């Protein structure tokens, strides 16, 4: 059993294949965190130490015992107002404006299968998968406040999930001012904090820094998870590498504003928290009401970052992504955006489809510009009716013509947004999030619709359905192209709940679409990677990784993304050169190698290519089809850091070690340059592998020890790929 309760000591132990998580409801009723690390048996309460710490308060129930202080003890769900001066997971204000909450253990239950969170995305798993749920009930008797801590365990994947449900069982209102989903307290250790900051068009850059005294806080105040920070962090021992050392991950299954904190305190203890953002959050709960924290995925590795990534990748692929395309190969697509931007007609889209079909593309996506009076990005958002004059007929007729060529059809929409120059805004100006009495703050000349309101959600859902019902539309790109700056909903007096309810509203519409159109492939997008998170993957099995399609910049973007997200989730395309974002020119072969580490597609006009380039693209698509299963389901290995190494290299290796794809891009070229070697990992020790192209046989041990030399003839930005197949009958047992 993965969850064990020892009643004599009131200790809860959670075992996964390679880790153990332990906590204790102590004699005073406080739920203390004991351990999270390599799998271990027995009780870890010996790790607790007690001493009289000056200026660290003692709870009244401790009597004259000055050695007992929550300011110095590791906790599962610390609250404000208990004498613990570190950052809390929960802050509550009562009806009189008084802050403070003291939660004590009341009960627990262990049930088979993984819990679900109504209205929220979450990891799913059944009892047949070995999953179990632990619910621990805590209570503040003064407030009449109950908090249920939820723990989900997927033991074979080394995954533990956490959430919290706050319920007002009292007779007066309370207001939740801060709610974090998970807390990890470490009694000792010297750690680095790994996070993934960035900016528009350069998202999720790997950032590792020593955690010193004080707090390191990252998060998003933008209403979405954002380009600037990602809701995923790693705490690692100072010496941790890709293949050695301890590291812990927190990944939030949430697409709105968030907060992650790592705090090293006066006693050299470290607290790691993750949950909802605090800015513009103040959620009132009337008697009988509840509030659910979004889920955090926890995972631990004693064997470095790559093992941690493998565990998270498996979890997201198999237990977060859903639907037809969870396991199926994604269609190779051609998107019209960089081919024509807004300047297209129905005839030019049809010509693009014909060119795409001739290349072997499977899906044509018509991007922005097909609806209303949409000739640029200043108007018509919200008017989701096809511009039949521009398309030369109905949307349904165009879809039928494209499908008749043997292609699937996809379409772009931005359902959460509205332009002031639109029929929707003119009819319902109060549907936008704007502050009364002052001109709105625009971004990309658009406003945000108030998805916290049911009438808004219902109308937008109906408009999306009217579009999708016009023909066999099998792909929807759901975009969001601005952050939320002003928070005011015209139908509530409690503006502190709007951003949370907004995100639940987005999830509701997406869930309704997934239910009504089970075969529809939805690709998430927010100016590329501005909402790239585990919450969106519950509805969209792939997310446009970045609006930056430059292959060399993408090396760094996809490198950072790979720490927490599988290749199957990373929307990646081959685009035209010179690149539209950077002006850089890279070989077509390299652009394909980089895009093949994701969902793979094209963002260009084939009519502008030479016949040699068209022939190369046909070969690229055929090769990707052959490699797709390994890319989507295999283990991903980062073989070099693109920020520091002259060569960026990575590999996909089958779980059983039978196949491997090793890719490398030379970023720097110098005169009389030393040879550069790529050292793969994950091959079967003692085995031999044959390179599919050359037929050459390599010993796995030597490959993993010293590596493969890059051809000295490679130029800057050139690439090389080795496709290795294990020779059967070799390998140590």
Active-site residue, from 377, 613, 616, 641: 613
Cα–Cα distance for residue pair 252/1, rounded to 1 Å: 26
Let me know: does 528 contact 227? Beta carbons within 8 Å: yes
Cα–Cα distance for residue pair 689/588, rounded to 1 Å: 28
Cα–Cα distance for residue pair 689/731, rounded to 1 Å: 10
Cα–Cα distance for residue pair 395/370, rounded to 1 Å: 9
Cα–Cα distance for residue pair 554/542, rounded to 1 Å: 16
| Mode of pairing for the β-strands spanning 635-638 and 677-678 | unpaired
Cα distance between the two ends of the chain: 29
Cα–Cα distance for residue pair 113/128, rounded to 1 Å: 8
Let me know: does 359 contact 606? Beta carbons within 8 Å: yes
| Mode of pairing for the β-strands spanning 90-94 and 174-186 | antiparallel
Let me know: does 273 contact 228? Beta carbons within 8 Å: no
Q: How far is CA 612 from CA 587, 589, 606, 713, in A?
A: 13, 12, 11, 21
Q: 650 — alpha (psi -120 to 50), left (phi > 0) or beta? A: beta
Let me know: does 326 contact 61? Beta carbons within 8 Å: no
| Mode of pairing for the β-strands spanning 647-653 and 659-666 | antiparallel
Let me know: does 152 contact 3? Beta carbons within 8 Å: no
The DSSP code sequence of 117-156 is -TTS------GGGT-EEEEEEEEETTTTEEEEEEEEEEGG
Cα–Cα distance for residue pair 563/654, rounded to 1 Å: 18
Cα–Cα distance for residue pair 344/365, rounded to 1 Å: 13
Angle between helical axes of 454-468 and 498-516 (0-180°, round to 10): 30
Cα–Cα distance for residue pair 57/692, rounded to 1 Å: 68
Residue 136 CA, chain-centre distance (Å), reads: 27
| Mode of pairing for the β-strands spanning 247-252 and 635-638 | unpaired
Q: Is 533 noted as a catalytic residue in this protein? A: yes
What is the gyration radius of the CA atoms in the chain, in angstroms?
27
Q: How many CB atoms lie within 10 A of CB 107?
A: 11
Angle between helical axes of 395-404 and 346-359 (0-180°, round to 10): 20
Active-site residue, from 533, 553, 603, 718: 533
Q: Is the Cα dihedral 606, 610, 615, 620 positive or negative? A: negative
Residue 422 CA, chain-centre distance (Å), reads: 33
Contacts of 329 (CB under 8 A, 6+ apart): 625, 628, 629, 632
**What is the enclosing helix (H) or strand (E) of 358?**
helix 346-359
Catalytic residue numbers read 533, 613
């Amino acid at each position: 059993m993965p969850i064990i309760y020892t009643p004599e000591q009131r200790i809860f132990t959670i075992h996964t294949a390679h880790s153990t998580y332990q906590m204790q409801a102590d004699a005073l009723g406080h739920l203390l965190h004991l351990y999270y690390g390599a799998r271990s048996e027995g009780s870890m309460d010996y790790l607790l130490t007690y001493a009289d710490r000056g200026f660290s308060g003692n709870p009244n129930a401790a009597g004259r015992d000055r050695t007992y202080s929550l300011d110095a003890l590791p906790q599962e769900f610390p609250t404000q107002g208990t004498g613990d001066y570190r950052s809390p997971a929960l802050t509550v204000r009562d009806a009189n404006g008084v802050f403070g909450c003291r939660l004590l253990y009341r009960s627990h239950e262990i049930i088979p299968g993984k819990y679900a969170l109504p209205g929220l995305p979450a990891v799913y798993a059944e009892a047949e998968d070995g999953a179990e749920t632990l619910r621990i009930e805590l209570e503040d008797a003064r407030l009449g406040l109950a908090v249920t801590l939820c723990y989900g365990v997927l033991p074979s994947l080394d995954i533990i999930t956490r959430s919290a449900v706050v319920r007002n069982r009292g007779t007066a209102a309370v207001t939740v001012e801060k709610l974090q989903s998970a807390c990890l307290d470490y009694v000792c250790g010297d750690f680095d904090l790994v996070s993934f900051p960035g900016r528009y068009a350069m998202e999720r850059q790997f950032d590792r820094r020593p955690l010193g005294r004080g707090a390191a806080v990252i998060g998003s105040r933008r209403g979405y998870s954002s380009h600037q920070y990602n809701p995923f962090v790693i705490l690692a021992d100072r010496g941790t590498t890709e293949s050695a050392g301890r590291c812990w991950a927190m990944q939030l299954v949430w697409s709105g504003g968030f907060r992650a904190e790592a705090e090293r305190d006066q006693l050299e203890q470290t607290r790691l928290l993750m949950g909802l953002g605090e800015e513009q959050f103040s959620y009132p709960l009337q008697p009988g009401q509840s509030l659910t924290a979004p889920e955090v995925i926890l995972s631990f590795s004693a064997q470095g970052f790559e093992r941690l990534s493998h565990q998270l990748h498996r979890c997201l692929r198999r237990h977060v992504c859903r639907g037809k395309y969870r396991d199926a190969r994604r269609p190779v697509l051609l998107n019209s955006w960089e081919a024509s931007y807004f300047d297209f007609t129905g005839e030019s889209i049809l010509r693009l489809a014909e060119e795409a079909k001739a290349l072997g593309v499977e899906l044509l996506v018509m991007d922005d510009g097909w609806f209303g009076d949409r000739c640029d990005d200043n108007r018509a958002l919200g008017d989701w009716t096809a511009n039949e004059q521009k398309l030369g007929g109905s949307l349904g007729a165009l879809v039928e013509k494209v499908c008749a060529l043997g292609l699937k059809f996809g379409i772009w929409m931005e359902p959460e947004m509205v332009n002031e120059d639109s029929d929707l805004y003119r009819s319902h100006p109060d549907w936008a999030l704007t502050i009364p009495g002052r001109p709105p703050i625009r971004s990309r000349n658009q406003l945000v619709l108030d998805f916290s309101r049911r009438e808004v959600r219902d109308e937008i859902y109906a408009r999306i359905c009217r579009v999708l019902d016009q023909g066999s539309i099998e792909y929807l790109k759901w975009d969001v192209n601005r952050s939320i700056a002003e928070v005011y909903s015209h139908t509530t007096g409690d503006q502190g709940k709007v951003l949370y309810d907004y995100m639940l509203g987005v999830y509701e519409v997406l869930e309704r679409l997934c239910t009504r159109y089970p075969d529809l492939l939805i690709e998430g997008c927010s100016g590329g990677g501005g909402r790239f998170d585990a919450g969106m993957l519950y509805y969209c099995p792939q997310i446009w990784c970045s609006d930056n399609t430059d292959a060399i910049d993408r090396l760094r973007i996809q490198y950072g993304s790979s720490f927490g997200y599988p290749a199957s989730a990373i929307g990646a395309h081959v685009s035209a050169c010179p690149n539209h974002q950077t002006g850089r020119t890279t070989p077509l072969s390299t652009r394909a190698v980089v895009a093949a580490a994701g969902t793979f597609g094209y963002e260009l006009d084939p009519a502008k290519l030479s016949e040699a380039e068209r022939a190369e693209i046909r070969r690229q698509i055929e090769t990707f089809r052959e490699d797709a299963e390994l890319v989507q389901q295999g283990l991903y290995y980062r073989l070099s850091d693109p920020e520091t190494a002259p060569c960026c290299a990575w590999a996909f290796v089958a779980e059983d070690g039978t196949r491997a794809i090793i890719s490398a891009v030379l970023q720097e070229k110098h005169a009389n340059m030393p040879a550069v070697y790529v050292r793969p990992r994950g091959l079967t020790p003692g085995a031999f592998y044959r390179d599919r192209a050359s037929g050459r046989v390599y010993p796995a041990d030597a490959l993993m020890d010293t590596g493969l030399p890059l051809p000295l003839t490679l130029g800057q930005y050139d690439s090389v790929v080795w496709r290795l197949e294990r020779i059967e009958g070799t390998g140590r047992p």
